[in-house]
Structure 1
């Protein structure tokens, strides 16, 4: 666990260590953000700076996958939850890869530049994603590649005035820009986009925005309905893809087993509840049965300690909860 946000246990394998860790004040992150800086010495200042649209976040530990070829979009359309068959150049989107049972296996953040589809994924997951994509190529005119060695992702917040070369791939969303930077130019681009902001600051703003993250908000049985990913990463009117039957069935019945909630944690507690910490109804006391678990938590510069949690669908929306030993009020992210 890294102070400020709780992540999954253990080191991430096959993740590059960023050269930007040599910048003054850099403290190495742990868990899924291992390989980049957790912060540069002042967590709350970095959050405020990022919220003001200044600076950059080193995301060079994330995997980068490219798909090229004339059939790339029509082929990806058959495999992903999102409608990408006619995705216009430079339009950002998100998509998921599901298991046959509809459980989330991969989360992809995509943009197409007119000749190549670029995507970044959670650190260390690009190998498994590429293996799946390669197994589905058949007769399609597509080429897939792991571009992680050649390109690094840098996040620029919304409002950033940092110029980006026109030949680079960029995902621009309401939250900011994901820039695919040639690794040979990473340090020079970072100097231009300064000041550096650590991964913990971005995590705090992600949690505030209720945005799920693979491996934190997901486990082996998570379906898109539980996290609100139907709104951003799933197209409910598109044709067949693996796991679509589960998506359609749960959507029609309206009964996902769990739902994502946002928690305002008691600020008097020194320790944040970690990833996987049990969530109970406060009215049931410390011996009550767990109704869910904490997925992510952080200390926010304005809101104080906050978290996301997955709880049973029928948990009352107005109930006071206990995240481990910490009292928490909840905000609805996914309606029951």
Structure 2
């Protein structure tokens, strides 16, 4: 399927979608301000109609969904029996269908697993990629387009991050959280509306931001994502994902025992950190680049970006025992660069941890 945004002047498009339209740093600023829209070809839609859809998804996932009201957004994780993250999806229901928005690389696997778990229940999931696309932006920005309304409810998912949703738990010790002012939503639109948006952008009537800008804002907000931050060992606790994707008091689901045990009795074996990277940002670490304490590799970079205010930044998963004040370095193609660590998940993360809140100063504020 040809990308309709390829015709927009300045557009750089690859297999993942629209990367940028000439200036990713300016696009970040415009996107955060609500002046630009972000086509999300890296995201895709699974529709789950049927009378049993919410109770069924509730029984399979980490999230409490049985009483999810139409138009209210949440997110779920599908875990393996040991509590490791297998799939992740944003969820919005319209009263007739539950609509899942997932990273495109995860959609086929998530869909296949859902189909296998139907049994005799009244659900009929389908990949809706031919019918619908995803457009991101602030809530105000999305008011300039027309979300799909197959049952009369606009299909707009408001990202709850970093609020602590009912049944959730927060680990990050900073106050305010760097994502506190983040305003992010994703609209499910028909393919016809997607083409209309592309045509309007080509005429200069709408501003666009690419995936480079979208990712930079996500990384700055410490927001985990399946494509980049999840591997076969990932536990939700390690990524501070209990905030929005896990309900600790709901009924049984696969992986629940590990979720409860790690939260109530132990600590996750790894922890997410945010890194302020030294240097000009001309060369960012690649996904999977080693994070080192001296010569010892203590973790890997999961996401990296050049932010319009904070400069080169990254998210990384490191060993729980890595000292919070350690001087770290990160491998890049130009050699190691210094990486100042900010604690996202503390070493003693868990229900009994008494972590004092720490006022966060960005690198930009600290330099003033």
* TM-score of the superposed pair, with normalisation by structure 2: 0.81
**SS of 2:54 mapped into structure 1:** helix
Which string of whole-angstrom CA distances, capped at 9 and with x for unpartnered residues, describes residues 268-327 of structure 1?
46311111111112xx2xxx1100011110111100000000001111112221011010
Q: Contact conserved, 2:105 with 2:227, CA < 8 A, in 1?
A: no
Q: Contact conserved, 1:74 with 1:85, CA < 8 A, in 2?
A: yes
Whole-angstrom distance in 2 between the partners of 1:201 and 1:306: 13
Alpha-carbon distance change, 117 to 187 in structure 1, aligned in 2, over 3 angstroms: same
CA shift at 1:76, angstroms? 0.6
Whole-angstrom distance in 1 between the partners of 2:139 and 2:329: 34
Asked if 1:118 corresponds to 2:99, the answer is yes
**SS of 1:220 mapped into structure 2:** coil
Asked if 1:169 corresponds to 2:155, the answer is yes
Partner of 2:59: 78
Which of 150, 157, 162 is matched with 2:131 structurally? Answer: 150
Asked if 1:233 corresponds to 2:245, the answer is yes
**SS of 2:309 mapped into structure 1:** coil
Q: Contact conserved, 2:20 with 2:212, CA < 8 A, in 1?
A: yes
Whole-angstrom distance in 1 between the partners of 2:281 and 2:45: 39
Partner of 1:184: 192
Which string of whole-angstrom CA distances, capped at 9 and with x for unpartnered residues, describes residues 11-33 of structure 1?
xxxxx54211221111124xxxx
Partner of 1:94: 75
Asked if 1:194 corresponds to 2:180, the answer is no
CA shift at 1:243, angstroms? 1.1
Matches within 5 A, 1:178-327: 178-190=186-198, 191=200, 194-268=206-280, 270-281=282-293, 284=294, 288-324=295-331, 325-327=336-338
Whole-angstrom distance in 2 between the partners of 1:36 and 1:71: 34
Aligned alpha-carbon RMSD (Å): 1.6
Partner of 1:7: none
Partner of 2:13: 28
CA shift at 1:125, angstroms? 2.2
**SS of 1:273 mapped into structure 2:** coil
**SS of 2:232 mapped into structure 1:** coil
Q: Contact conserved, 2:114 with 2:125, CA < 8 A, in 1?
A: yes
CA shift at 1:172, angstroms? 2.2
CA shift at 1:104, angstroms? 0.7
Whole-angstrom distance in 2 between the partners of 1:173 and 1:329: 28
Alpha-carbon distance change, 48 to 244 in structure 1, aligned in 2, over 3 angstroms: same
Q: Contact conserved, 2:34 with 2:140, CA < 8 A, in 1?
A: yes
Which string of whole-angstrom CA distances, capped at 9 and with x for unpartnered residues, describes residues 22-80 of structure 1?
21111124xxxx33111111111101101111111111342210111111101110001
Which of 95, 111, 134 is matched with 1:130 structurally? Answer: 111
Whole-angstrom distance in 2 between the partners of 1:335 and 1:82: 24
CA shift at 1:247, angstroms? 0.8
**SS of 1:96 mapped into structure 2:** strand
**SS of 1:178 mapped into structure 2:** strand
Gaps of 5+ in 2: 161-182, 348-368
**SS of 1:137 mapped into structure 2:** coil
CA shift at 1:166, angstroms? 7.1
Q: Contact conserved, 1:321 with 1:329, CA < 8 A, in 2?
A: yes
Gaps of 5+ in 1: 1-15
**SS of 1:185 mapped into structure 2:** helix
Tell me how many residue pairs correspond in the alignment. Answer: 312
**SS of 1:154 mapped into structure 2:** strand
